[in-house]
Amino acid sequence: MSTTDNPPILEVSEFNVDYGYGDDAVRAVTDVSFSLGQSKVLGIAGESGSGKSTLVYALTRLLRAPGIITGGKATLRLLRQENDLPFDLLNATEAELRGIRWSQVSIVMQSALNALNPLQRIGKEFNEVLKLHDTSLSKADRKARAIELLALVDLGPDRLQRYPHELSGGQRQRVVIALALALRPELVIMDEPTTALDVVTQREIVSKLYELRQRLGFAMIFITHDLSLLVELADEIMVMYAGRIVERAPATHLYQAPRHPYTLGLMDSFPPLFGERVQMSGIPGSPPMLKSPPTGCAFHPRCAAAHDRCREESPPLVAIEDGQRSVACWLHDPTSTHEVPVALTRRHVAASEAN
Ligand code: SF4
């Protein structure tokens, strides 16, 4: 299922990632396929260890040993290049990859504090990125562009003289987002960019990202453990558990009617970012150890709807609802005689609808 009717900017198929080799290998990402449309936002949600960060670091070839890509394909379309040829991410050389990082694809890492050099003023960060990737710019041009980029994220030019520790967490994250946009990439990957921030600042950053995407037209992959952050931002959401996609659907469909018990659990783990406060119930237990995953459906030890088949067979990801959604859960198998829990049949009302 594509996130759009336009040709996708990124296509991934049957992608696998292991940690370690031979008998010690642990499968961290299993059989992941998806595509991302131009200017679209794909949200990837899941708890720690679900494989969501491993997936994007592997796709962008930033995964460090002992992480290894063990199968699949990943193709990027460089739409701004004259020949518009597909770029094979997995077989590209380091030099070819350097040629697309920042200018075509940029990544915002989890902690803005780690992304910025603590001994360097913010202005120097911008100057270095722009100088390295766009030699046509003069020093004055680079400064003007840095000011323009800071303005995009509502920060004044005075921030260029500051060191990272002189900025708040939210301001640092805005600086990192502005840096990621410095060379007008077509795809921006955000790996839990709001995790360390308070709820009000999270809300501001998500609203800002939404506005920037509308204005600048880049596509985005936004990774988070907090599904509520994606409802307003993403076009499509992919939920991962134990390295697999367990549900994928347009954001509003997924939020209004989660079909996988894990998606429902994630939704009940975080208060909605917008709207009234509600009591959260969360998910019992912890994610599985990937070295010794449970038999059958990896979620069965934590799932209130688990039955015998779940403990024995792993459910495949199958399209339901006329292909609008995919889900990996035996409850949605046409041959299943098990009743779908009422919580998975009700329609949730998005905060934006309720207001
Ligand atoms: Fe729960 Fe079974 Fe569905 Fe897995 S397959 S999520 S254990 S009902």
Confidence band, pLDDT 50/70/90 cuts, at residue 281: low
Is the link from the previous residue into 7 a cis peptide, with omega within 30 of 0?
A: no
Is 220 in contact with 213 (CB distance < 8 Å)? yes
Residue 274 has pLDDT above 60, yes or no: no
Find the mean pLDDT for residues 90-95.
95
Nearest to 159 by CA among 147, 142, 143, 141: 147
Is 67 in contact with 17 (CB distance < 8 Å)? yes
Residue of 300, 302, 332 to mutate, ligand 1, most atoms within 8 A of C-beta: 300
Residue range 112-147, pLDDT digits in tens: 667 889 999 999 999 999 998 888 999 999 999 999
* The pLDDT of residue 6: 64
Residue 80 has pLDDT above 90, yes or no: no
Is 210 in contact with 233 (CB distance < 8 Å)? yes
Cβ contacts of 114 within 8 Å, gap of 6 or more = none
Find the mean pLDDT for residues 104-115.
81
Write the secondary structure of 55-113 as one string of H (helix), E (strand) and C (coil): HHHHHCCCCCCCEEEEEEEEEEECCCCCCCCEEECCCCCHHHHHHHECCCEEEECCCHH
Residue of 241, 246, 283, 299 to mutate, ligand 1, most atoms within 8 A of C-beta: 299
Q: Please report the DSSP string for 29-49 in residue order.
A: EEEEEEEEETT-EEEEE--TT
Residue 2 has pLDDT above 50, yes or no: no
Nearest to 212 by CA among 230, 188, 236, 237: 188
Residue 276 has pLDDT above 70, yes or no: no
Residue 49 has pLDDT above 70, yes or no: yes
The one-letter amino acid at 89: L
Residue range 173-196, pLDDT digits in tens: 999 999 999 999 999 999 988 877
* The pLDDT of residue 350: 46
For residue 86, the tally of other CB atoms under 10 A from its CB is: 11
Residue range 150-165, pLDDT digits in tens: 999 999 999 999 999 9
What's the 230 CA to ligand 1 centre distance in angstroms? Answer: 24
Helix H segments across the chain? 52-59, 94-100, 112-115, 122-133, 139-152, 169-180, 199-216, 251-256, 261-267, 308-312, 351-354
Residue 325 has pLDDT above 90, yes or no: yes
Residue 351 has pLDDT above 50, yes or no: no
Q: Which fold has domain 10-234?
A: Rossmann fold (3.40.50)
What's the 252 CA to ligand 1 centre distance in angstroms? Answer: 22
Residue of 264, 295, 303 to mutate, ligand 1, most atoms within 8 A of C-beta: 303
Q: Counting atoms of ligand 1 from 1, which one is nearest the CA of 311? A: 7
Write the secondary structure of 192-208 as one string of H (helix), E (strand) and C (coil): CCCCCCCHHHHHHHHHH
Percentage of residues in the chain having pLDDT higher than 70: 90
What's the 330 CA to ligand 1 centre distance in angstroms? Answer: 6
Residue nearest to atom 3 of ligand 1 (CA): 329
Confidence band, pLDDT 50/70/90 cuts, at residue 44: very high
How far CA 66 is from CA of 12, 17, 113, in Å, comes to 22, 10, 25
What's the 302 CA to ligand 1 centre distance in angstroms? Answer: 9
The set of protein residues with a Cβ atom below 6 angstroms from ligand 1 is 260-261, 297, 299-300, 303, 305-306, 310, 315, 329-331
Confidence band, pLDDT 50/70/90 cuts, at residue 290: confident
As a whole number of angstroms, the distance between CA 194 and CA 205 comes to: 7
**Range(s) for CATH 3.40.50.300 in the chain?**
10-234
- Weakest mean pLDDT among 45-59, 84-98, 109-123, 324-338: 109-123
**pTM, whole model, 2 decimals?**
0.91
More confident residue, 338 or 246: 246
* The pLDDT of residue 128: 93
More confident residue, 134 or 149: 149
Query: For strand 105-108 and strand 187-191, is the pairing parallel, antiparallel, or unpaired?
Result: parallel
Q: Counting atoms of ligand 1 from 1, which one is nearest the CA of 309? A: 2
* The pLDDT of residue 228: 85
Q: Count H helices, E strands: the chain?
A: 11, 12
* The pLDDT of residue 106: 93
Residue 231 has pLDDT above 90, yes or no: no
Q: In whole numbers, what is the pLDDT of the chain averaged over residues? A: 88
Structure-token pair, residue 168: 């708040």
Percentage of residues in the chain having pLDDT higher than 90: 65
